[in-house]
């Protein structure tokens, strides 16, 4: 059934909780993560209050008081969670291996991506289809330096039809916009990644695959994120108010700057930096009695 324990640096182990497969869950596969307030949060792959035994998200104090925050049903909210990561907003993000759209995959679904607050309010951010977006993630997420979350799906992708494809690497924003970054072929690039990613100091993400590669027994890979430069889409002037609209990537942090002399490197911030939630952002500038200005939109690292 599994336990939660703590161990001191000199090897003294204390069992904090023994799972029973009932309301508290069973089979915790993922590691614990500590919340801002000091409690620990984790998942169990099975058990919970649902009759389907789809697993749980729980909170446990340092003295062993466990609280079940959510019991997965295996339907829209997913089933079989794979651990948590704490986001910069203080909420927790994770994956489930099954559930979501249960009209797919013989009624089991291809899994979900979710967010959950410290008081147990769960939001399904994405339901995998097993097609181009991937399916059946069996590892957790990592938050990148850009604020988005990155992970791997064990199946799906663009290489072959449906779940016969050997998986993907994906990005998802905090508001649920998913982007497939790479589809494995099962050849030299590998396939069927069952481990999570880590972001290196160079900004690239590193991971492993279970299959594929030159020896057909897996690979270690880097994935470099090439972000599209922002491009102004529309510029309008109405009653001395200039409106600028530019292209964005969801989750990207953008800063608009201006300069009156292109030969100078002294660019001035027009307004505060903003994080994109969709495909475009806009800002306005008052140009009444103002000298000429040149504008640029900058994507922050």
Q: Say if residue 160's pLDDT is above 80.
A: no
Reduced to 3 states (helix: H, G, I; strand: E, B; else coil), residue 164 is helix
Q: Say if residue 150's pLDDT is above 70.
A: yes
For the chain, percent of residues with pLDDT exceeding 70: 98
237 contact partners, CB below 8 Å, separation of at least 6: 243, 287
Distance CA 255, CA 258 (A): 10
pLDDT in tens, 233-249: 999 999 889 999 999 88
Supply the pLDDT for residue 162: 53
Distance CA 47, CA 44 (A): 7
pTM of the model: 0.82
Q: Say if residue 64's pLDDT is above 70.
A: yes
pLDDT grade for 199, boundaries at 50, 70 and 90: very high
pLDDT grade for 252, boundaries at 50, 70 and 90: confident
247 contact partners, CB below 8 Å, separation of at least 6: 228, 230, 231, 233, 279, 280
* Topology adopted by domain 3-223: Methylamine Dehydrogenase; Chain H (2.130.10)
Q: What is the mean pLDDT of residues 54-70?
A: 96
Angle at 230 between CA 201 and CA 177, to 5 degrees: 70
CATH 2.130.10.10 in the chain is located at 3-223
Supply the pLDDT for residue 161: 56
pLDDT grade for 287, boundaries at 50, 70 and 90: confident
Reduced to 3 states (helix: H, G, I; strand: E, B; else coil), residue 162 is helix
pLDDT grade for 275, boundaries at 50, 70 and 90: confident
**DSSP 8-state code for residue 291:** P
Q: What is the mean pLDDT of residues 260-286?
A: 88
CATH 2.60.40 in the chain is located at 232-299
Contact 50, 37 (CB under 8 A): no
Count of beta carbons in the 10 Å neighbourhood of residue 225: 16
Mean of per-residue pLDDT scores for the chain: 91
Supply the pLDDT for residue 251: 72
pLDDT in tens, 90-149: 999 999 999 998 888 777 899 999 999 999 999 999 999 999 999 999 999 999 988 889
Distance CA 158, CA 130 (A): 10
Q: Say if residue 253's pLDDT is above 90.
A: no
CATH architecture, domain 232-299: Sandwich (2.60)
Supply the pLDDT for residue 163: 56
């Amino acid at each position: 059934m599994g336990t939660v324990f703590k161990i001191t640096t000199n090897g003294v182990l204390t069992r904090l909780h023994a799972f029973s497969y009932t309301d508290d869950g069973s089979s915790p596969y993922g590691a614990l993560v500590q919340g801002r307030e000091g409690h620990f949060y984790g998942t169990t792959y099975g058990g919970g209050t649902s009759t389907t035994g789809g697993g749980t998200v729980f909170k446990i104090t340092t003295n062993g008081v466990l609280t079940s925050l959510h019991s997965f049903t295996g339907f829209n909210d997913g089933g079989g969670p794979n651990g948590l990561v704490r986001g910069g907003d203080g909420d927790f993000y994770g994956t489930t291996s099954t559930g979501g759209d249960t009209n797919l995959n013989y009624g089991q679904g291809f899994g979900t991506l979710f967010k959950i607050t410290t008081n147990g309010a769960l939001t399904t951010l994405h339901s995998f289809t097993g097609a181009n977006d991937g399916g059946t993630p069996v590892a957790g997420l990592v938050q990148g330096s850009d604020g988005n979350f990155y992970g791997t799906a064990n199946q799906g992708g663009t290489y072959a039809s449906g779940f016969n494809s050997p998986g993907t690497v994906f990005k998802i924003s905090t508001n649920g916009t998913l982007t497939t970054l790479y589809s494995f072929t099962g050849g030299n690039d590998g396939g069927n990644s069952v481990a999570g990613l880590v972001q290196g100091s160079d900004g690239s993400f590193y991971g492993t695959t279970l299959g594929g590669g030159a020896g057909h027994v897996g690979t270690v890979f880097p994935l470099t994120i090439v972000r599209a430069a922002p491009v102004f889409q529309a510029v309008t002037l109405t009653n001395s108010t200039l409106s600028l609209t530019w292209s964005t990537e969801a989750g990207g942090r953008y800063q608009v700057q201006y300069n009156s002399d292109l030969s100078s490197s002294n660019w001035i911030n027009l307004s505060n930096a903003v994080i994109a939630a969709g495909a475009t952002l806009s800002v306005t500038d008052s140009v009444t009695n103002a000298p000429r200005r040149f504008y640029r939109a900058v994507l922050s690292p």
